Amino acid sequence: MDETLLYQLKDDLQELFDMSDNFQDVIVKTAYEDFSDIEYPCVIIHELENVPDNRYYDMQEHVVNVTYQFTVMSEGTFGEDAVKQVMLIMDYITKYMRGRKYTSLQKVGSTAIQPHPNDTNIKVGYMRYEGCIDIDTNIIYRRN
């Protein structure tokens, strides 16, 4: 599961946005996809950590520690504030991640929003989630 959770997250978020009344134009990609013609608004999922570990006293539980960063980008358009759009998308993702499927991936740190370094009309927001995946059962746990 650990090597596919990134793509499962991507597919689940894209489906969530596609079914939404307000966010149907959001594109979800992984950091490893082609960005030659990027469109806004978009969410890019980066896998920052995927490290094997052993847990508990008998060291028999084999887990993978994972950390994902969600980068949300939106371009300011007529009558629409890019910062507000980024915040709305990040809130939508946060509510989804608190749901049953991904509740054990824990949000860490605070969110940040800043202008894109090459285009100040584009605003970029960042948030991170981390957890552990049991290799044998594919169950996601919060980190201790």
- Structural domains present in the chain: 2-141 (3.30.2000.30)
Residue 28 CA, distance from chain mean position: 9
For residue 59, the model assigns a pLDDT of 63
Query: pTM for this one?
Result: 0.86
Residues 75-115 pLDDT 10s: 987 556 899 999 999 999 999 999 988 888 999 999 999 99
Do β-strands 106-116 and 42-55 pair in parallel, antiparallel, or remain unpaired?
unpaired
| Cβ neighbours of residue 101 closer than 8 Å, sequence gap 6 or more | 12
- Contact between 123 and 44 (Cβ < 8 Å): no
In this prediction, residues 110-133 reach a mean pLDDT of 91
Task: Please give the Cα distance from 125 to 136 (Å, whole number).
Answer: 34
